[in-house]
Structure 1
Amino acid sequence: MQNIIDELSWRGLIQNKVPGIKNQLKRSTTLYTGFDPTSDSLHLGNLVPIIILIHFQKMGHKSLALIGEATGFIGDPSEKHDSRILLDKKSLHNNTKSIKNQIIRLIKIKSYSEKIELLNNIDWIKNISFLEFIREIGIFFTINYLISKDSVKKRIKNKKNGISYTEFSYSLIQGYDFLYLNKIKNCKLQIGGSDQWGNITAGIELIRKKTGKKVYGFTFPLITKSNGEKFGKSNNGDNIWLDKNKTSPYKFYQFWMNVSDREVEKYIKIYTFLSKEIIENLISNHRKDPSKRILQKKLAFEITGWIHSYELSKKIMKISNILFDKKNLELLDEKTIMIIYENIPHMFLSNVEFKKGVFLLDVIKNSGFFNSKSEANRAIKANSILLNKKIIKENILLTKVNIIVKKYILFQFGKKEFFILKII
C-alpha cells in the first residue's frame, strides 16, 4: 500500500499523531471523523476532513464519516470561551439531513460514494441510559484526567462562565463513539482538527482500558480566516460556506483568488487532489511571476469546480476575467452580461422607477455594501466607486446614457467588490 502518512504530511495535513500509526497504516485500516450538525451547511474548515477521508479511501483504507447528531445536542467546548447556545432537536435533525446530503454529493463527485460510509451517532447513543453510561463509561475516566484536557482547562480558567457539566461530558461521549465504532466496524483510527486532540486521546484511553486494544489518532491543522479565527459554523464572522445560498459560487471563487502568495502554496496542497509533481510544477511557475496568479487561478477553478460544478467554475472564471479586465464593457454580448448578473450581487429596477430618476447614492446604499448613504458618499469622495469601470466623483443622477448592453449598469466598490443593476 502507498504510504498515506507521507502523502498527508507532504500536503501539510498532519499536526499530531499517536506513535505507531505508520506501521498500522501499512495494512488496510478503518478510520472515522465526525461532523457536529451545529449549522445547516458545512464550511471550508469541514472540507479538510472530507479530503483526508478521500485520500485514505484512494489508498485502500475504509473511511467512515460520522454525523454527530447526539454530540451536537451537547456542544463541543473545544476552542470556545463561553458555553454554546444549544440547538433544539428539530434544528439538529434538519441540520443533520442537510450536511449529510452535502457530504454524499461531495464524495460522489470523487467516485467514492459507495465506499465511504455515513453514520449518525444518535443511532446508538439513544439506546443507552444515563445510569448505564456513567457506570459503564464514566468509570474509566478520572476527574483529574478530564480537567487536564486543554479544552476543559481553558474554560475552567474563565471564572465568569466556567464550563457546564453538559460540555464537560462531551469528550466521554465522543470517546464512546470511538469505542462503539471499534467494536462494530473494527475502526482503529480517529482523525480530527488540532482542537480535537483531547477528545481523540480520551477515546483511545477508553478503548485501551475497556478492551485492551491499541487504536490510533491524528489531528490536522485548523484552517483559519485572515483575522486568525478558525472557520467555524458557530463562530462570528464571515465564514465561507459550501451552500451556495449562504456563500455564492462567485464569492466562493473570489475567496481563493484573493488568497495571498504565502497561503496559496499551502492551500493548493490541502484543498486539491492534484499530484505532487503537478503541484510542484505549478508552484515553480508561479514563483517566476507571481503577478500572473497561476496558483490562485488553478486553486479557485479546482475547488469551485468540485463544490459547485466545473461548468459553473468555467463561467465564473470567465466572469472574473471580464470584471477585472480594463476592456470596454460595451463589447459584451447580452448572454455574457446575463451570466455576470446571475453570479454576482445584483438588484433590478423597473423602467418606470428608472425613468422617474434614481441617484447613484440610492442605488449603492441598497446594494448591501454600505450601511448608510454617508458611508457610501465617503466612498465616492475617496474615488472608490466605479460606474461601468469609470471612477465616479459625485452623486450623479443615473440615466439611460449609463446603461450598457441594453439594460445593465455595473458598479465596482474598491478593487474587488462588484454589483450590477438591471433595468426591466
Structure 2
Amino acid sequence: MNLLDDLRWRGLVHQTTDDAGLGAWLDAKPRVLYCGFDPTADSLHVGSLLPLLLLRRFQRAGHQPIAVVGGATGMIGDPSGKSAERNLQSPEQLAANVAGLRAQMSGYLDFDAPQRPALLVNNADWTAPMTFLEFLRDVGKNFPIGMMLAKDSVKSRLERDDTGMSYTEFSYMLLQAYDFVHLNRTLGCELQVGGSDQWGNITAGIDLGRRMNGASLQGMTCPLLTKSDGSKMGKTEQGAVWLDPRRTSPYQFYQYWVNVDDADVSPCLRMLTELPREEIEALDADRAASAAARQSQRRLAETLTRLVHGDAGLATARKATEVFFGAEISDLDDGVLADIFADVPSQQLPATQLAGDGLNVLDALVTSTLAKSKAEARRAVEQGGAYVNNRRVESPQAQLTTADLASDTVMVLRSGKKRYALLRFQ
C-alpha cells in the first residue's frame, strides 16, 4: 500500500481537501507538511500522540514534517471544541510549556535525518514582530467575516445562550491560518494535518494561502482518539494520560493500555502503533477466538510503552506489573511503589522504628491494619499467609529493619493473596 492507502486502512483519514487526488499528489514527489501543537501544558498527552505520530508516518514515507509549537496561538487558546472561554496563560508559563514540548517531540521525529529532516518551529517567531495594524492590514483584510461566522467552532459558541466568544478567541482562526501562509512562503509547506476538530482552521489557512500567496494548498484531518462509546481516549479518574513520566509513570501508562476494552483495542493498534497489517489482523483473529487472553492489549501496551518511555520504561512497567501479582519486590523507588499500590492502606512511621533490633513483624501487621490483633497476625504468619515485600514471613519473631525496605522509605506488607498495605518510614 502507498502511504494514503495505509493511513485509510488504519482509520487515520477523516477529511481531506481532495479525496480522489491526494494519494497521487503525495506520490508525485516529497511534500512539506505541518501540524500545530498548542502549548497548554509542558507535556503532550495521549490525544496529541495521534497527530504527532501522523507526522512521523509522513516522514518515514519520505516527506518532510514541521511541528509548529504555538507560542503565539497559545497566548489565545483554540476555541475549537470548547464550550467556554479558555483561561489565558502567563508568558512565563507559556515559555515553560513551549520548552517542554520541544524536548518531548525529539523522541518521535527525526530532526537529524540527512534528507528532509523534521523541523520544529514556534509561530511566535513570525507573529510577535508584527504590529496590530500590520496584521489587520495584511492578514485581516483577506478574511471574509461571513466565512469565519460559518465555521463550526465559531457558530456553535455563538448559538449558546450561556456563553459567547470574545474577539480574542475569534481572532485565533486568523493567527493559525497565517501560520500556513508563512510556512508556505518560507519553507514550501503545502499540506496541513491535524485532528478533525481542526478542519475549520485548516480550510481557513488554505483559503488565506490562495488569497495571499496564490498557492494551491492541501489539508487532511485524522479522527480524534475516542472510545467506542464516544468518550475521549486517554482520560482516567486521575486525569489525562500524559507522555511525560513525571505526570504519568511508565507503569500507569502501561496499565492504561493493558486495560483497554476489547471494542477499542483494534482501532488503537491501527492508529497508534506501527505494527504491520498482518500482525494486527492476526491479533484481531486471536482476540475473536480467545478474548480472555488479552493478547492484543498486552501487545498494544508493550508497543506504546516502548515508544513513549523506551526499553527501560517498559522494563520498569513490566516489573511493576509482576510485583502487583505477587513477584518479590526489590530495586524499585518510592514513586513506582506509590503508583502500584495507590489504592491500598498506607501508614507512616518514624524511621527510628527500624533501628536497633527493628520492628516486630506482628506489630507491623497490626499497625498496617492487615491484622486486628497480634493473635490474628501470629495466625497469619504461622499459616504461611503473611508477606513482606511479597516474601513469605517464616517466623512470628521476625524483626524488620532497614534491610527490609522495598525502596528508600516504603515497606510492602501482604496478608493472603490480595490484601496489601504500605508502611512508610520517614
* TM category, shorter: 0.7 to 0.9
Deviations 1:359-416 (Å, cap 9, x if unpaired)? 879889xxxxxxxxxxxxxxxxxxxxx9969xxxxxxxxx98898993432579xx9x
TM-fit CA distance, 1:345? 4.8
Name stretches of at least 5 consecutive residues in structure 1 with no aligned partner.
Answer: 365-385, 390-398
Match of 1:344 in 2: 340
Task: Report if the CA contact (8 A) 1:344-1:418 is conserved.
Answer: no
Q: For residue 240 of structure 1, what is the amino acid of its counterpart?
A: V
Q: Deviations over 1:263-291 (max 9, x none)?
A: 01110111111111222222222322111
Q: Secondary structure at the match of 2:72?
A: helix
Q: Output the CA distance in 2 between the equivalents of 1:241 and 1:171.
A: 27
What is the DSSP-based 3-state SS (H/G/I as helix, E as strand, rest coil) of the residue aligned with 2:174? helix
Counterpart for residue 324 of structure 2: 323
Q: Where does residue 162 of structure 1 map in the other structure?
A: 164
The offset of 1:318, in angstroms, is 3.4
2:376 equivalent in structure 1: none
What residue identity is the alignment partner of 1:406? D
Work out the CA distance in 1 between the residues paired with 2:366 and 2:301. 33
Taking a change above 3 Å as real, the CA distance of residues 270 and 64 of structure 1, as seen in their structure-2 partners, is same
Cα distance in structure 2, aligned partners of 1:402 and 1:156: 69
Partner of 2:404: 406
Q: Where do residues 243-282 of structure 1 align in structure 2 (5 Å cutoff)?
A: 243-282=244-283
Pick closer, same or farther for the CA change 1:423–1:7 going to 2, 3 Å. same
Could you tell me how far 1:210 is from its partner in structure 2?
2.2
What is the CA-CA distance between 1:170 and the residue it aligns to? 0.6
Give the alignment of 1:23-62 within 5 angstroms: 23-26=24-27, 27-62=29-64
- Return 220-229 or 310-319, whichever deviates more: 220-229
Asked if the contact 2:369/2:421 (under 8 Å) is kept, the reply is no
1:142 partner letter:
P
In structure 2, C-alpha distance between the alignment counterparts of 1:114 and 1:50, rounded to whole Å: 17
In 2: Cα distance, 1:34 partner to 1:97 partner: 15
Q: Over residues 30-74 of structure 1, what are the superposed CA-to-partner deviations in whole Å (9 max), with x where a residue is unaligned? A: 100000011111100111111111111111111111101100001
2:145 corresponds to: 143
Contact 2:284/2:296 (8 A) holds in 1: yes
Q: How does 1:377-396 map to 2 (within 5 A)?
A: none
TM-score (norm 1): 0.80
Relative to structure 1, the CA distance from residue 135 to residue 333 in structure 2 (aligned partners, 3 Å threshold; closer, same or farther) is closer
- Name the residue aligned to 1:291: 292
Deviating more after overlay: 103-112 vs 173-182? 103-112
> For residues 225-236 of structure 1, what are the structure 2 equivalents within 5 Å?
228-230=230-232
Matches within 5 A, 1:81-230: 81-108=83-110, 115-224=117-226, 228-230=230-232
Letter in 1 for 2:320: I
Q: Secondary structure at the match of 1:106?
A: coil
What amino acid sits opposite 1:123 in the alignment? D
Q: Residue 302 of structure 2 contacts residue 314 of structure 2 at CA under 8 Å; is this kept in 1?
A: yes
Aligned with 1:107: secondary structure? coil
Hey, what's the Cα distance between the residues in 2 that align with 1:82 and 1:388? Answer: 52
Which residue of structure 1 lines up, in the alignment, with residue 382 of structure 2? Answer: none
When Rg is computed on C-alpha atoms for both structures, the one with the higher figure is 2
Between 1:62-71 and 1:355-364, the stretch displaced more is 355-364
Task: Point out the more displaced range, 20-29 or 196-205.
Answer: 20-29
Shift in Å at residue 306 of structure 1? Answer: 1.3
Q: What is the Cα-based RMSD across aligned positions, in Å? A: 3.6
Query: What is the CA-CA distance between 1:207 and the residue it aligns to?
Result: 1.0
Whether contact under 8 Å (2:368, 2:421) holds in the other structure is no
- Give the Cα separation in 1 of the matches to 2:366 and 2:352: 17
Unaligned runs of 5+ in 2: 371-384, 389-395, 406-410
Shift of 1:23: 2.5
Comparing 354-363 with 54-63, greater Cα deviation is found at: 354-363
Give the distance between the partners of 2:252 and 2:109, measured in 1 at CA.
23
Say if 1:54 and 1:112, in contact at 8 Å, map to a contact too. Answer: no
